[in-house]
Structure 1
Amino acid sequence: MLSANIQAGHATNSYREYVTGSWNHVLPSRRKRDNLDVLADQVSGFDLVGLQEADAGSLRSGFVNQTHYLAERAGFPYWSHQPNRRLAGVAASANGLLCRDQPDEVVDYALPSRIPGRGALVVRYGHGADSLTIAIAHLSLSLRARTAQAAFLGELLTGPGHKVLMGDFNCESDSPEMLSLYRHTQLRPPDERILSFPRWQPRRAIDHILVSGEVGVERRWALADLSSDHLAVAAELVLPPVASAG
């Protein structure tokens, strides 16, 4: 699995470029399409990809739905997206899903926040104790909002079955706001910190793939060449055997 904040296809190489390259957040460019093509090559070897800050089709992306574009370019037969924040046709941020196997259910949820625009895309495979539920989320910058959002996700990810939560959390996995998530679910913090931000000199581990207790993790790593302001994080997971019907 892979989780990637793609910043609408725009590559940032320094903090200074948040100012000097601010026009990239409102205007299209050929470089964004080239970055998406590179990203498509990188994600094509994965079974499931969760995207954050994929543009849903607005001026800054040349009115291209970037999740759909990546699905076609990388050869994923199934895709879905969740537009969360539209800015007058200039920008349209979304969570996105690319997958090899068709889910049994895909549901959108708005995350609690004083400023609307954050969401979780929840995907389910199977039923009951052997089911797999995957949530793709992008949490807020403020501690107060993240605390409420983590509690909300904790309620979503209770119940039977295996769980995976991936996305840009804007905080470390052991931050205080994450405690309610671990208390109310079987999700556990990762054993190691995978530095993911900023892309050009990673110092913070704020992009995560969290799994519930019975899901094995063979390895976790970051993709160094992603064109964004984050590195993508990846995990190779092992699901427990399906319980015998007898």
Structure 2
Amino acid sequence: MLVVTSNIQHGHPLVGDARTAERLAAAFRDVPGDLLALQEVDKGQARSGRVDQTAVIAEALGFRWHRFAAAFAGSVRGPRRRPADSRVPDDPGYGVALLSRWPVRSWHVRPLRAAPPGLAPTDGRLGFRVRVDQPRVLLAAVVGAPFGPVTVGCTHLSVVPAVARRQLAESVWALRTLPGPHLLVGDLNLGADEAARATGMRGLAEARTFPAHRPRHQIDHVLAGPGLRADGEASVMRLPVSDHLALTVGVAPG
């Protein structure tokens, strides 16, 4: 099973116009993989042409099984206030998505607690600003892979390291309530060593993924629990969208 994880940055730099869906589909049509985990996904947002980005990419790849989970509902624009969590698939929102070539037996969504509002230093000047952490969400699927069922979780964690570690622990606990073996993939905003320590899982893909124009860090990961191993070397792809490289690795039982 070939797994791809990509923070798509809501399709940036595509501009929301009549051809947005067509150009987004073209950007992903040649992406290989049996399972795609996407982060920073828009649905019904003006900046991305009000399209359902998950559905557009799934159609381009011919994937029948797919789902979007909103970390928060409503527009990403407007007053800077804490958005409401949303688990309603039909609402406009912003969040994560899973797309599978193989049948999905069940879907599961778990909101992850954000950091409380606090003060953060301003960049390059004296003073402080109010920091409001975004809500986060874990989307999981029990996938009927050719070698048996696998539970795959996709998430995008806080940029505050301590909060990201706590959200990661929450995600692992939630996955363990579902059938194993387990994969946890996505933009974790943590390095490989931190992610492994926080989860007790093994990283299957080692590669720098951020920023796309000159990768210096790996914050995108494919983590595996017992019963799964890497099948070959990991690789990265530069897509026509996003400030991240997409990370790809084969996964096999063992």
Normalising by the residue count of structure 2, what TM-score does the alignment of the two structures yield?
0.77
Which residue in the other structure is 2:129 paired with? none
CA distance in 2, matches of 1:125, 1:225: 26
Deviation for aligned residue 1:196: 0.3
2:106 is matched with 105
| Matching of residues 1-246 of structure 1 within 5 Å | 1-11=3-13, 28-29=16-17, 33=21, 35-43=23-31, 45-86=32-73, 88=75, 90=77, 92-114=93-115, 115-125=133-143, 131-158=149-176, 161-175=180-194, 178-182=196-200, 187-190=201-204, 193-218=206-231, 219-240=233-254
Q: Which has the higher strand share?
A: 2
Contact 1:226 1:232 in 2 (8 A): no
Q: What is the CA distance between 1:53 and its match in structure 2?
A: 0.7
Instruction: Determine the C-alpha separation between the residues in 1 that align with 2:20 and 2:220.
Output: 22
The offset of 1:29, in angstroms, is 4.5
Q: Secondary structure at the match of 1:72?
A: helix
The alignment partner of 2:192 has SS state of coil
Residues 224 and 161 (structure 1), Cα distance of their counterparts in 2 relative to 1, 3 Å cut: same
| Contact 1:196-1:232 at 8 Å conserved across structures | yes
Letter in 2 for 1:92: G
**CA RMSD, 1 decimal:** 2.3
Question: Aligned residues, how many?
Answer: 216
Deviations 1:44-79 (A, max 9, x none): x31110110110111111110100111112211111
- Hey, what's the Cα distance between the residues in 1 that align with 2:175 and 2:66? 21
2: CA distance, partners of 1:96 / 1:132: 17
- Confirm or deny: 8 A CA contact 1:118 1:139 kept in the other structure: yes
Contact 2:158 2:189 survives alignment (8 Å): yes
Query: Greater helix percent: which structure?
Result: 1
Aligned CA distance change for structure 1 residues 89 and 214 (closer, same or farther; 3 Å): closer
Moved more, 196-205 or 156-165: 156-165
Classify the secondary structure of the residue corresponding to 2:243: coil
Instruction: Please state whether the residue corresponding to 1:203 is helix, strand or coil.
Output: coil
1:207-246 deviation per Cα after TM superposition (whole angstroms, max 9, x unaligned): 0111123212122111123521000101111124xxxxxx
Maintained 8 Å contact 2:39/2:95: yes
Sort the Cα spacing of 1:223 and 1:31 in 2 relative to 1 into closer, same or farther, 3 A: farther
Structure 2: distance between partners of 1:206 and 1:149: 15
Provide TM-score, normalisation by structure 1: 0.79
**CA distance 1:178–1:238, shift in 2 (3 Å):** closer
CA pair 198-32 structure 1, distance change in 2 beyond 3 A: farther
| Contact kept? 1:9, 1:32, Cα under 8 Å | no
Structure 1 residue 89: Cα displacement = 6.1
Contiguous gaps of at least 5 residues in structure 1? 12-23, 241-246
Identity of aligned residues (%): 28
- Note the C-alpha offset of 1:197: 0.2
Tell me by how many angstroms 1:87 deviates. 5.0
SS of match in other structure, 2:66: strand
Closer, same or farther: CA 106–197 of 1 in aligned 2, 3 Å:
same
Q: Deviations over 1:74-113 (max 9, x none)?
A: 2111111101124536483221111112211111111121
